[in-house]
Amino acid sequence: MDKYDAIFIGAGQAGPFLAARMAESGLNVALIERKFLGGTCVNAGCMPTKTLVASARAAHVARRAEDFGVKIGGRPTVDMSVVRNRASKVTMDARNGLGEWLGNLKGLAIIYGHARFTAADTVEVGDKTLTAPRIFVNVGARPVVPAFPGIGDVPYLTSTSILDVDFLPRHLAVIGGSYIGLEFAQMYRRFGSEVTIIERGPRLAPREDDDVSSAIRDILVGEGITIHLGATEIAFSGHKGNITVKADGMVHEVSHVLIATGRRPNTDDLGLEAAGVDVDERGYIRVNDRLETNVPGIWALGDCNGRGAFTHTSYNDFEIAAANLLDDEDRLVSSRVPAYALYIDPPLGRVGMTERDARAPGRNVLVSTRPMARVGRAKERDETLGFMKVVADADTKAILGATILGIEGDEAIHGFIDAMTAGTRFDELQWAVPVHPTVSELIPTLLRGLS
């Protein structure tokens, strides 16, 4: 039996950095990964998909060149093999860089294989048995494929397998109208595919307020994407290149199907029952505010704990665990301000509560909105779609949440993230003097609309 001070199962965006901190502090650490270093972000999430988004935007801007007085000569086309190879290179560079860094750390052993608990302090990997007083689970999540009628009889893509596509689908049906599905729908439309989104719910991006969901739909419809909402009965038939998707009596004849209906944690084959670790009904490992499981000496970090499904929340899990275990601090998951972005174009930046959530407990709420058409940067670039929205508590003047759906919204939202993290009241922030011409310069005007 190989003895370590700490064992990490999974090498996503939390485990490797905490493993490195521990190794650098003189501890003997094992990092176990069944497939690729870097987890979802590096290999099947942020890095490759946002590289594809960048290629799709380049195609979109090139097609609009004449609107800005730029003559290209002929309609731009997309070489999907180059697009795919570029995204693959970004992934490989990041993965290899991570491997080189971790591989050179004294006291850190990288072990490739499938780890399973055999006891609360012991795991097996192939023919190896490892034990440690501290074990950290950072195994991420994977796409979910519902048991739609006929789905097993047709070829389909997931958000992972579509990254290997080096051709242009004639007509792509995207099953699922949430964040992953919307990003792929727009990028493939911009690459040149006909695209249909089929969503079981009554609106796109269901976590958002109705006005945000409606604006997202308008953006995508404006680019020629067909949207079918409220599809309660979805079935498939056909074969490669000719697939029939039936939804509530409507028939969609497509060439390819992308299933983008959510993700599930990779916890079902870890032997968690042997360690006595509790999971919820969806398979997420239950943790407390310090990321500790119900079993002393076992922590769960990143997507598999259900406390955030983003790279930045996973990395913050590392920061919280490192601060508590190595820096004699007491940091809590509940202290972070929830924020995220949707990378359609224009992007959506979101922080805190939606208006719907803020009003739910009967709170005295103030709301202010402003169209992106009021933003000088947006007008100068002829990208005026979307709007800004802020929600605040009328009694305490606390900013409860904000939305920026529009050009550079994913960057401008950080003004609100920083203010909410610092506890700055909206009546204080509204007198900031932002730089002109920027997207953020409309924020004080937006806040003054709360008064």
Gyration radius (Cα) of the chain, Å: 24
Residue 444's identity, in one-letter code, is P
In contact, 352 and 423? CB cutoff 8 Å: no
Chain centre distance of CA 80: 24
Q: Are the CB atoms for 432 and 444 separated by under 8 Å? A: yes
Question: Quick one: CA torsion of 283, 285, 288, 289, rounded to 10 degrees?
Answer: -90
Residue with tokens 């609107």: 67
Q: How far apart are CA 190 and CA 234, in angstroms?
A: 26
Burial class (CB in 10 A: 0-12, 13-18, 19+), 120: middle
Dist. CA 383–CA 269, nearest whole Å = 47
> 415 with 443: CB under 8 angstroms?
yes
Q: Can you tell me the distance from the alpha carbon of 143 to that of 163, in angstroms, rounded to the nearest whole number?
A: 13
Residue in the block written with tokens 């007083």: 133
> 328 Cβ partners below 8 Å, 6+ apart?
none
Three-class secondary structure of residue 297 per DSSP: coil
Q: Which element (helix H / strand E) includes 197?
A: strand 194-198
Catalytic positions: 436
H or E element at residue 283: none
Q: Which of 173, 168, 218 is nearest to 195 (CA)?
A: 173
* Number of neighbours of residue 306 by Cβ within 10 angstroms: 17
Instruction: Say how far apart CA 183 and CA 162 lie, in whole Å.
Output: 12
Distance of CA 154 to the CA centre of its chain: 27
CB 339 within 8 Å of CB 401: no
Q: Is 142 helix (H, G, I), strand (E, B) or coil?
A: strand
Alpha helices (H) along 104-178:
none
